[in-house]
Amino acid sequence: MKTVNEILKLKGSDVFSVSPDTTVYDALRIMADKQIGALLVVDEGEVSGIMSERDYARKVILQGKLSKDTLVREIMSPRVLFVTKEQSTEDCMALMINKRIRHLPVFENERLAGLISIGDVVKAVIDEKEFTIDQLVNYITGKPNLKQ
């Protein structure tokens, strides 16, 4: 079973974040530039929320607000669920499904150590299953599986 630590070793530990006083427009610009769907909200070194494309869709567009006149603090989700590096991909998937979230910050010893998305978790699970299938093919046929 893969751990969060293994996902972070592949994708890196950088976390893109904004302050709560950033305008939603500027936050969206960062998300577009970095090709990401969420930003952690950090205020004086403390995580104070997370803002996703979904927050924008539901709390700005559908409310008839303007992104240049709205601050991240007005639409962010203040309750931030997180995982630790030792947790498994299954733990992350269960949390994401049960809580209907797509991004999880990673903490280690109370310090921010990365951020993973639902795509990262699905990729890790698929890689793991493919590895198991290859091992089984090798075992059954007695030959290494050279496809890939």
Ligand X SMILES: NC(=O)c1ccc[n+]([C@@H]2O[C@H](COP(=O)([O-])OP(=O)(O)OC[C@H]3O[C@@H](n4cnc5c(N)ncnc54)[C@H](O)[C@@H]3O)[C@@H](O)[C@H]2O)c1
| Footprint of ligand X (CB under 6 A) | 11, 14-16, 36-40, 102-103, 115-120, 123
Rounded Cα gap, residues 81 and 78, in angstroms: 10
**What would the two tokens of residue 53 be?**
């494309």
Residues 76, 20 contacting (CB under 8 angstroms): yes
CB of 50 to ligand X, least distance (A): 8
Quick one: 16 or 107, whose CB is closer to ligand X? Answer: 16
**What would the two tokens of residue 99 be?**
């809580």
Quick one: 11 or 65, whose CB is closer to ligand X? Answer: 11
Instruction: Return phi, psi of residue 46, to 5°.
Output: -110, 140
Residues 88, 79 contacting (CB under 8 angstroms): no
Quick one: 93 or 118, whose CB is closer to ligand X? Answer: 118
Q: 112 CB contacts (<8 Å, ≥6 apart)?
A: 15, 40, 47, 105, 106
Quick one: 3 or 117, whose CB is closer to ligand X? Answer: 117
What is each CA distance from 48 to 39, 78, 79, 140, in whole angstroms?
11, 6, 8, 52
CB of 114 to ligand X, least distance (A): 7
CB of 124 to ligand X, least distance (A): 9
CB of 72 to ligand X, least distance (A): 12
Residue nearest to ligand X (CB): 119
Quick one: 24 or 115, whose CB is closer to ligand X? Answer: 115
CB of 121 to ligand X, least distance (A): 8
